[in-house]
């Protein structure tokens, strides 16, 4: 069994001085003509510095809603998100988001380097500094040669690399990724997964990675947070005790990888069948 299992319906929490991102009792109800729809009911968990936490859950479990609340793009109905001790009320400067729809997130009228540069230009970073950051970010995603192309001239995987480079150049402390590789092919996906691991190690950023792919979550994460079906609470929060250096072939062949994968799979099946940790706690 995983070592740090949480109390029912909540994720692992850390002391205030160790937590970088704190989510407390987050609830989001969408107002619609047919009354309120409760997408997220009650989410509590913490991200420590340099963790790579994967959020998995059945489809429609409010993963994107949660991520948007954390990113300051949506206002939660109740509860709070705190980054580095300060409550998030709008998009924080120390955060960057990589969206699933790279084609819509990159600006088609800017070339690759222009896209990576734009957030820095907006922030008033001096030109020399900008050029250096853009160059470094493009190099770290292996796209130096494509700097002068337009994003739509590139393949899907390369476009998502541009979006990642844009996030890196912004120098965030927290990188939020919303199913970033759902729309790219399997081989590109493996490369991009390793790129995310590498970026986290090299730059020391903390990553929250939303995915619906169980294998991906176990392979990438230092922790996996499993969400229940909607209205969402936390089904389980488990530590991934695999060796720090991950390898697409070796890690995936480890018995422990298979065990963890099984465990997450079972939990998601339970979630799909309507099992809810908050109800079992009551009953």
Partner 1 sequence: MRRALTAVGFALGLPVCLVVVWWFATRTSANPFVPQPVPLVTTFLDTWFGDRFASDVVPSISRFAIGAVVAVVLGVVIGLLIGLSRTLRAFTEPTFEFFRAVPPPVLIPILGLLIGVGDDMKVAVIVLGAIWPVLLNTIEGVRAVDDVQSDTSRSYGIRGMNRVRFQILPAAAPQILAGVRQSLPIAIILMVISEMFYTSAGLGFSIIQFQRQFAIPQMWSGILLLGLIGFAVSMLFTLVERRLLRWYHGLKDLENAS
**Where does this chain bind partner 1 (CB under 8 A)?**
68, 71-73, 90-91, 93, 95-97, 99, 101, 104-105, 107-110, 118-119, 121-123, 150, 152-153, 170
CB closer to partner 1, 104 vs 145:
104
Report the side by side order of strands in the sheet with 78-83: 86-87, 78-83, 19-32, 35-48, 232-239, 223-227, 52-56, 206-211, 174-178, 95-98
CB closer to partner 1, 163 vs 260:
163
- Smallest distance from partner 1 to CB 268, Å: 27
Count CB-CB contacts under 10 A for residue 182.
14
3-state DSSP call for residue 180? coil
- Smallest distance from partner 1 to CB 155, Å: 12
Tell me how far apart the alpha carbons of residues 229 and 273 are, in angstroms, rounded to a whole number: 8
∠ CA 137-99-151 to the nearest 5 degrees? 55
CB closer to partner 1, 159 vs 222:
159
CB closer to partner 1, 173 vs 236:
173
- Smallest distance from partner 1 to CB 152, Å: 5
Q: What is the DSSP letter of 114?
A: H
- Smallest distance from partner 1 to CB 103, Å: 9
CB closer to partner 1, 96 vs 240:
96
Strands 206-211 vs 174-178: parallel, antiparallel or unpaired: parallel
- Smallest distance from partner 1 to CB 110, Å: 8
């Amino acid at each position: 069994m995983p070592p740090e299992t949480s109390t029912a319906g909540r994720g692992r929490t850390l002391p205030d001085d160790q937590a970088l991102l704190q989510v407390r009792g987050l609830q989001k109800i969408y107002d619609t003509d047919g009354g309120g729809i409760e997408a997220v009911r009650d989410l509590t968990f913490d991200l420590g510095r340099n963790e790579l936490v994967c959020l998995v859950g059945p489809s429609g479990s409010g993963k994107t809603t949660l991520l948007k609340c954390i990113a300051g793009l949506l206002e939660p109905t109740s509860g709070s998100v705190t980054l580095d001790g300060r409550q998030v009320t709008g998009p924080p400067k120390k955060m960057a988001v990589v969206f699933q729809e790279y084609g819509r997130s990159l600006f088609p009228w800017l070339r690759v380097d222009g896209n990576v540069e734009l957030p820095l230009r907006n922030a008033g970073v001096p030109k020399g500094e900008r050029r250096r950051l853009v160059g470094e970010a493009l190099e770290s995603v292996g796209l130096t040669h494509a700097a002068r192309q337009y994003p739509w001239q590139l393949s899907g995987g390369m476009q998502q690399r541009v979006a990642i480079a844009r996030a890196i150049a912004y120098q965030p402390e927290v990188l939020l990724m919303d199913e970033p590789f759902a729309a790219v092919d399997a081989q590109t996906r493996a490369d991009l997964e390793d790129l995310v691991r590498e970026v986290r190690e090299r730059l020391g950023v903390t990553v929250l990675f939303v995915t619906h792919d169980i294998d991906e979550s176990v392979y990438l994460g230092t922790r996996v947070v499993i969400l229940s079906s909607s209205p969402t609470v936390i089904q389980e929060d488990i530590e991934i005790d695999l060796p720090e250096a991950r390898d697409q072939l070796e890690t995936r062949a480890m018995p422990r990888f298979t065990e963890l994968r099984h465990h997450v799979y079972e939990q998601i099946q339970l979630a799909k069948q309507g099992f809810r940790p908050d109800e079992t706690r009551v009953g």
